[in-house]
Structure 1
Amino acid sequence: MDIHGSSLLYLTVLYLTLAEVWSKHVEQRNLFALRACCRRQSHFVYIGQDISGSPVRMDVGMCRSHCGGASRTSNYGPQQEYLKYSSMLEFLRSKKMGARTASTESAEPSENTPSCGESHVCEPTGMRVERVLLFEGPREVEVVQECHCETKIAQCLRTPALRTYFFETPYETVVDVGGCSKSKGSPDGFSCVPTKFDSALVETPNKVNIIQTVVACDLKESCYRVPSVEYYYEIVDQTDGIKEEKLKEIDVGRCLGGCTAGNRCLLRSPSDPQMCRLWAERPQTSCAPQSYESHTFLNEHGQILTVLSITSCHCQNKM
């Protein structure tokens, strides 16, 4: 083998070795990011007025990436340096020894790489539901407890969503109310939305609360129909002339989802097309029944009863 062949072989081996070392380093840094970079951050919102008339603000929390390329700003201070190390132990050790030069030995992450990684997103691990007594009555507020890096899901699936009710009381209960994945591969105009529901019972000091839970999800347009079953008693005439009472099940349906009103900008700035000078009043729209069918039967009192069931929904302007 000549000298050029030896040099090429040496460079190939060196490249593969460095690639493997870099891959392991990135993997360790991503594992560290999964634990350290996705954290709960305080987020105060106005809830309303309490029974004395004083304003009520609550820290409902939010999940935000605290380190990593895109979200790294001067506002975060020392947290910018986290991803320069493979672990928190290494980070603290470098701080203690004053070895800041160690940060230059490991390559910087890409400016467009989120701290959770391309295949993860920073989301809550669980929520608690707090009951607040306001002037207009009690209100339930969802509060973020903790956050973590959750794997992105490309398909439309039902995902777990834990809610803690009556937190730190003898009636504390955790319920998986469920949710739908934020599918990125869905066609335009479609979203991953709940299509089948169930209920869970939560014991309270005064009574039993019924909590609606999500059972299944599907890709639907913004305004869509979901099943909703109602039961009735029906009187049926038998061949021998005897009247029999039966239970009749009717899927009356209901309309869910929101309706977009389109672009409301009537006049844009000639110098800056992104700036709108004149806005049109937003028409009020709602997701309402579009078509229906009727079910007629004889009820238990011998009266003819007609029940309408929704077959499709659409967006319509409110009168």
Structure 2
Amino acid sequence: MVVVGCPPAADTAPRVTSAVDTDVGSSGASGNVVIDVRGSSKDESVCCRRESHFERVGVDMSGESLMVDVGKCRHHCHHSSGISKKDFLELLSDYEDIDPVEVFLRQRERHASCRAPSRCRPTEVVLERHYTPGGPVTREVTRHCGCRRPPATCTRLPRHVTFHPGSPHQQILDIGRCAGPCAQKDDSCLPLKNRTVSIDGPNGAEVVSVIEECVCSHGCYRMVMLEEVYDYSELNTPKIKTIDVGQCVGACTKDQHDRDCVYSDQSSPKCLMSLMFQVRGCVASASEQHFYRSEDGTAKSLASITECSCH
């Protein structure tokens, strides 16, 4: 078995020493209680770290399993199990000039991985390419982790990925990611609009999809897809006409399946029995035409998707 690993990150993060940083034995609780009255956020990286996580990506040329360390972000600090009343009173007597509430809050939150509402997430990602008898296989590998505060609403956040690491074509690109809560329970924060950019690779130009906008949706939904044409409708002066032709993406959920009501309650519009159609996929259910003229004056039209559904 061949194992490809990312070298373990050295624990170079300095230990932040506060004005008062004392270990106090906690009766009835395992471990020590650490008081950090300054509460600096610089020590969060000590608890949020990258750890090894191996995935099988196939076999190598000799037929042995090819394992790659893709890494993952984990919390390495344990939550405090509390402090006894006796120990807490002794602690207060030692630090009479500090607000008791502040001391209590600091000893309780000191061991959290990232202070709420921050989360331990990847901060550096590389796209590695590994070769197998079936062809090249790419995997995203987490190099470093850190505490990141989640947005209040669904929005696009930066996501920097290194392409072709360790080569003359190495390039860091912000491909974006969608994150944040949605008002509807079943919705998720998903890409609404993408664009493509080209980067140089060993075999020429490569196309990478980059997220530009996000939206709350679920299952089958419509994404923005732009098309540009020259429009000669006004004399011989062409104008660039940009049309959002749209595209249907996503997987169909149960609530998006078309149904035929075969038995309903006569006293109300409620359907008591229905037949579900066989779903073929997420496709256009409504469209509209956009008109323009070509250079020779011919009238042309371009259809754009306005709604998507499961058929």
Q: TM-score range by the shorter chain?
A: 0.5 to 0.7
In the alignment, which of 178, 185, 188 is matched to residue 188 of structure 1? 185
Distance 2:120 2:209 in 1: 25
| 1:307 maps onto 2:302 in alignment | yes
Between Structure 1 and Structure 2, which shows a larger proportion of helix residues? 1
1:1-319 correspondence to structure 2 within 5 Å:
25=36, 28=39, 31-32=42-43, 34-50=44-60, 53-69=63-79, 109=108, 114-181=112-179, 183-184=180-181, 186-234=183-231, 236=233, 238=235, 247-261=240-254, 286-295=281-290, 299=294, 305-316=300-311
Q: Secondary structure at the match of 2:169?
A: coil
245 and 115 in structure 1: CA distance in 2 versus 1, 3 angstrom threshold? closer
Contact 1:39/1:64 (8 A) holds in 2:
yes
Contact 1:124/1:147 (8 A) holds in 2:
yes
Contact 1:232/1:248 (8 A) holds in 2:
yes
CA apart distance, 1:212: 1.9
Distance 1:141 1:133 in 2: 11
Provide, for residues 86-123 of structure 1, a one-character-per-residue CA deviation record: whole Å limited to 9, x for no partner: xxxxxxxxxxxxxxxxxxx9986479x84212221000
Contact 1:231/1:247 (8 A) holds in 2:
yes
One-letter amino acid of the structure 2 residue matched with residue 312 of structure 1 = E
172 and 118 in structure 1: CA distance in 2 versus 1, 3 angstrom threshold? same
Contact 1:223/1:258 (8 A) holds in 2:
yes
Q: Secondary structure at the match of 1:118?
A: coil
Contact 1:228/1:253 (8 A) holds in 2:
yes
CA apart distance, 1:197: 2.5
Contact 1:45/1:58 (8 A) holds in 2:
yes
Provide, for residues 108-167 of structure 1, a one-character-per-residue CA deviation record: whole Å limited to 9, x for no partner: 6479x8421222100001100112233333232111010011112222222111101111
> Percent identity at matched positions?
31
Distance 1:145 1:198 in 2: 26
The normalised TM-score by structure 2 is: 0.63
Alignment root-mean-square deviation, CA = 3.6
One-letter amino acid of the structure 2 residue matched with residue 146 of structure 1 = H
Contact 1:46/1:58 (8 A) holds in 2:
yes
One-letter amino acid of the structure 2 residue matched with residue 195 of structure 1 = L
Provide, for residues 1-34 of structure 1, a one-character-per-residue CA deviation record: whole Å limited to 9, x for no partner: xxxxxxxxxxxxxxxxxxxxx99826537642x1
The normalised TM-score by structure 1 is: 0.61
One-letter amino acid of the structure 1 residue matched with residue 245 of structure 2 = V
Distance 2:149 2:237 in 1: 55
302 and 121 in structure 1: CA distance in 2 versus 1, 3 angstrom threshold? same
Q: Secondary structure at the match of 2:39?
A: helix
Contact 1:166/1:172 (8 A) holds in 2:
yes
CA apart distance, 1:260: 3.4
Contact 2:158/2:174 (8 A) holds in 1:
yes
Can you give the 5+ residue segments of structure 1 that lack an aligned partner in the other structure?
1-21, 73-104, 263-282
Contact 1:223/1:257 (8 A) holds in 2:
yes
Q: Secondary structure at the match of 1:69?
A: coil
Can you give the 5+ residue segments of structure 2 that lack an aligned partner in the other structure?
1-32, 82-103, 256-277
Counterpart in the other structure of 2:14 = none
Distance 1:235 1:30 in 2: 60
Contact 1:154/1:185 (8 A) holds in 2:
no
Distance 1:246 1:106 in 2: 64
Q: Secondary structure at the match of 1:35?
A: helix
Report the number of matched residues: 235
Contact 2:182/2:188 (8 A) holds in 1:
no
One-letter amino acid of the structure 2 residue matched with residue 139 of structure 1 = V
